[in-house]
Structure 1
Amino acid sequence: MRQRFVAAAACAALALSVAAGCGRDSSGGSETAKAVGEGKASGEITVWAMGTEGEKLAEFAKGFTAENPDAKVTVTAVPWEAAHQKIASAIAAKQTPDVSMIGTTMQGEFAKTGALDPTPTDLFQKSAFFPGAWDTTVVDGTSFGVPWYVETRGIYYRTDLAAKAGFPDGPKTWDDLTAMTKAMQTKAGAKWGINLQPPNKTGSWQSLLPFAWSNGADIAAGGKYTFDTPEMTEALQYYQSFFTQKVAPPSLPAGSMEPAFVKGEVGAFISGPWHVGILNDQGGKDFTVAPMPTGKSSTSFIGGSNIAVFKDAKNRDAAWKFLAWLSKPDVQVKWYQTVSDLPAVQSAWTDPALTGDKILKVFGEQLKSAKAPPPYPTWEQVSAVLDTEIEKVCSGREEPAAALKAVQQQADAIGTGV
């Protein structure tokens, strides 16, 4: 799975605003977002960005400096695997850049240090963004930064195999997904009906949680984790069923899933929009994407990345003006055309560059109801526990109810960190 974690816009030009509310700094006091000065940006804006974004942003930012000739954007590319430690060390040493990408699962941790500047209410509007993406910026009621880009998950399936299985329009419900993937094996000749994220790999929680949310489960409520619930148990039982009934493989060798899907050996899998290009590059045909199947709802996982300004920023106002520029709908579309990052700004999705693609349209609709895990500082620790228990359940070594009880006990011991 692509290592990007969830990911603003002007309705007209730069004007964006969000009802940021009061939050708390690391000492427990309240804080309010400060306004940004008027006029064009000036001076140097230092930015840290990860992955492909880090490689492409410096050139892309020339569009901003063309509009703000007295400003200079200096981008440092940071590998994702080094990002957490680099940001944490910079915060501790008070040597942060003005701006950094912030992985959504890191947002709570870094916000609780008091190092992030609250999102200015005069520049950004909550309603401009996909709700699930905006929620990843909010810690203790205050937004810190804005969603930069987003992704979500859907069901990729072979249309030819689905037709033979009796589901020419793909699965609509949980029962449909079970029946279709089984019939892909028995009627359409697939070796495996569906490939689910290998339960022995880090991040399998990203495939489980859409089923949990679709079943009405909340994994956090009242300021604590809530895994040990009937809704969550039922979702994990459903997820387990694909392994116990041998519809999904226990695991596949690295790099073998896509070729197997292209050959028709695997009928379906769950993934995000980046897989379209991968499949096309491998000669994939006869495939499309369906929304996550409905339990009580159709709800998927939202990922991507946020981008934030530090309180120690040397050029704070210009930094926020740069983020406001990145959040303009037309700029979001240009960024998508540059690196294939999907816009976090809802109005950008009316552009023909996105509306003309039927698969992207599915992801765009799914984003409207997609959710992210709670922005608790301890989420990465707790999700590692959840991964471990998912593996036990899917390998038949533990029952779902017992696994979730174990997750709950460890999550309670770890706490939320807020």
Structure 2
Amino acid sequence: MIRRNLAAATAVTATLALALSGCGRSNDRPQSDAPASRLTNGPATGTITVWAQGTEGEALAGFLRPFKDKNPGVDVKVTAIPWDSAQNKYQTAIAGGTTPDIGMLGTDWMPTFASALRPAPADIDTGDIFPVSLQTTDIGGARLGVPWYVETRVLFYRTDLMKKAGFDSFPKDWQGFKALAAAYQDKAGAKYGVTLPSGGWNAFLNNLPFVWSNGADFMNADQTKWTFDTPKTVEALEYLSGFFKQGIANKNPDAETGSTASAFVDGSVPMFISGPWDIPGLKTAGGAGFEDKFAVAPIPAPPGGTSTSFAAGANLAVFKNSKNPDAAWKLVQWLTQPDVQVEWFKTVNDLPSRQSAWKDPALTADPKVSVFGEQLKSTKTAPVLTTWTQVSAAADTEIERVFRGGKSPQDAVRQLQSTADSLGTGE
């Protein structure tokens, strides 16, 4: 089943963000004032409560048997909660002092809940975790969790239709990518060459790989100033806008759940950008032999640019009012060991946050999976700021005005810069 999209994994609704961050205009970066601890010797004991969302929440309880075997005096109670209500549930629990010991928090949720979290013990080794993922846990001078799994985006494409379109291999650059999308239409019978987000929730976030690959960024290095209004950003948006102007991509694609996968399977839109969770779903939807008709590839690079994609995922964090923090951190430590992460990948297809786990054949043998590992070497992530949700929502509006309404990219980024400057960075 195609089970998750970017919005579910990383997005915060604007309304909730306003409520939690005081409209994002706080003068203080959110941080935890709880001191970091060290793990005790010996096995975990007592009760550990865990909240986890989506497929992870459904699969985790059964996955923990080896941990319980090693720690016979522990009882782990897992509560599966829906993604769409998770943040409200966490916030209510924080206000009422009824949080679980461990929470599964989307990477861009961390600023919102930072003041309610405990710093991770220094003896939990994070040395080989992907740096782009680890930085999402570092807030206010403290490390407030451990990355559990990572996500990145690559291009899914139909190999059989690519050959009909006259291409022997997937192009690595922008020019070739657009040419392939057009050839899918002209020579392979596709209605559109590629699905690209043209507006709505997280449209800007989903297009960021092209902005980043072109050498643009939207913040300075120390995250104190927004930098949307640059020639590189305009250039990337002009490139993307061309897909819609030329009719290679649909300005108003079907937003119904599963529609992108259906169009991919029937060949009407043979390219889209997504994450690893779509691999098993597409194999099932396409039926016997379909796995040989599609592949994945890194984000194409512009002239003089790089192939840089978006990284997200989820962190495991322990709340300050945990009744059993030592045992909770021992469970976090176990769940983030390389060998355990490999088994977790086999269970739910979550990509390991530990780089050493990527040496396992479970991740290297399948070329569809190994491409994600290669892409993870060149990724960026959303800023760890309380105002990011509001800025991202403003960017979604401007993206839609460009791709659907014909607004010039230059005017759009100028307006976005003004909006972002007025919202500030929450510092």
Query: Would you call these one fold, judging by a TM-score over 0.5?
Result: yes
Q: Counterpart of 1:244 in structure 2: which amino acid?
A: K
* Alignment deviations for residues 195-246 of structure 1 (CA, whole Å, 9 cap, x no partner): 112x233121232111111111122224132212222121111111111111
Return closer, same or farther for 1:26/1:340 CA change in 2, 3 Å cut-off: same
Structure 2: how far apart are the matches of 1:200 and 1:369?
25
Once the two structures are TM-superposed, the CA of residue 164 in structure 1 deviates from its matched residue by 3.5
| 1:44 maps to 2:44 | no
Structure 1 segment 305-324 matched on structure 2, within 5 A: 305-324=314-333
Q: Counterpart of 1:242 in structure 2: which amino acid?
A: F
Once the two structures are TM-superposed, the CA of residue 261 in structure 1 deviates from its matched residue by 2.0
* Alignment deviations for residues 156-183 of structure 1 (CA, whole Å, 9 cap, x no partner): 1111232233432102011111111112
* Alignment deviations for residues 117-143 of structure 1 (CA, whole Å, 9 cap, x no partner): 112221122x32122211222223432
Q: Counterpart of 2:78 in structure 1: which amino acid?
A: V
| 1:348 maps to 2:347 | no
- 2:293 aligns with 286
Return closer, same or farther for 1:384/1:307 CA change in 2, 3 Å cut-off: same
Structure 2: how far apart are the matches of 1:377 and 1:174?
33
SS at match of 2:190: coil
Give the structure with the larger helix fraction.
2
* Alignment deviations for residues 292-342 of structure 1 (CA, whole Å, 9 cap, x no partner): 011211111112211101122111111111100001111111111222212
Contact persistence 1:292–1:299 (CA under 8 A)? yes
* C-alpha RMSD of the superposition: 2.1
Q: Counterpart of 1:248 in structure 2: which amino acid?
A: A
- 2:249 aligns with 248
Once the two structures are TM-superposed, the CA of residue 186 in structure 1 deviates from its matched residue by 2.0
Unaligned runs of 5+ in 1: 7-23
Q: Counterpart of 1:149 in structure 2: which amino acid?
A: Y
* Alignment deviations for residues 55-84 of structure 1 (CA, whole Å, 9 cap, x no partner): 121221222111111111111111111111
Unaligned runs of 5+ in 2: 12-26
Q: Counterpart of 1:405 in structure 2: which amino acid?
A: R
Q: Counterpart of 1:96 in structure 2: which amino acid?
A: T
Q: Counterpart of 1:122 in structure 2: which amino acid?
A: D
Contact persistence 2:32–2:118 (CA under 8 A)? no
Contact persistence 1:25–1:31 (CA under 8 A)? no
Contact persistence 1:110–1:377 (CA under 8 A)? no
Once the two structures are TM-superposed, the CA of residue 375 in structure 1 deviates from its matched residue by 0.9
- 1:146 aligns with 146
Contact persistence 2:205–2:392 (CA under 8 A)? no
Structure 1 segment 94-173 matched on structure 2, within 5 A: 94-111=97-114, 114-125=115-126, 127-173=127-173
How many residue pairs get aligned? The number is: 397
Once the two structures are TM-superposed, the CA of residue 396 in structure 1 deviates from its matched residue by 3.2
Contact persistence 2:30–2:112 (CA under 8 A)? no
Structure 2: how far apart are the matches of 1:82 and 1:225?
30
- 2:202 aligns with 203
Once the two structures are TM-superposed, the CA of residue 263 in structure 1 deviates from its matched residue by 2.6
Once the two structures are TM-superposed, the CA of residue 409 in structure 1 deviates from its matched residue by 1.6
* Alignment deviations for residues 259-298 of structure 1 (CA, whole Å, 9 cap, x no partner): 3222322231111112222221122352111100112111
Q: Counterpart of 1:206 in structure 2: which amino acid?
A: L
Structure 1 segment 11-410 matched on structure 2, within 5 A: 33-111=36-114, 114-125=115-126, 127-197=127-197, 199-221=198-220, 222=222, 223-253=224-254, 254=256, 255-283=258-286, 284=290, 285-295=292-302, 296-410=305-419
Q: Counterpart of 1:260 in structure 2: which amino acid?
A: A
Contact persistence 1:147–1:305 (CA under 8 A)? yes
SS at match of 1:216: coil
Which segment drifts farther, 257-266 or 171-180?
257-266
Q: Output the TM-score relative to the length of structure 1.
A: 0.90
Structure 2: how far apart are the matches of 1:159 and 1:40?
50
Return closer, same or farther for 1:140/1:212 CA change in 2, 3 Å cut-off: farther
Contact persistence 1:131–1:368 (CA under 8 A)? no
| 1:4 maps to 2:4 | no
SS at match of 1:282: helix
Q: Counterpart of 2:40 in structure 1: which amino acid?
A: G
Q: Output the TM-score relative to the length of structure 2.
A: 0.88
Structure 1: how far apart are the matches of 2:207 and 2:31?
34
Structure 1: how far apart are the matches of 2:283 and 2:270?
16
Once the two structures are TM-superposed, the CA of residue 393 in structure 1 deviates from its matched residue by 0.5
Return closer, same or farther for 1:158/1:27 CA change in 2, 3 Å cut-off: closer
SS at match of 1:323: helix
Return closer, same or farther for 1:293/1:137 CA change in 2, 3 Å cut-off: same
Structure 1: how far apart are the matches of 2:30 and 2:179?
53
Once the two structures are TM-superposed, the CA of residue 44 in structure 1 deviates from its matched residue by 0.9
Once the two structures are TM-superposed, the CA of residue 382 in structure 1 deviates from its matched residue by 1.5
Which segment drifts farther, 41-50 or 406-415?
406-415
Contact persistence 2:32–2:142 (CA under 8 A)? no
Structure 1: how far apart are the matches of 2:36 and 2:142?
9
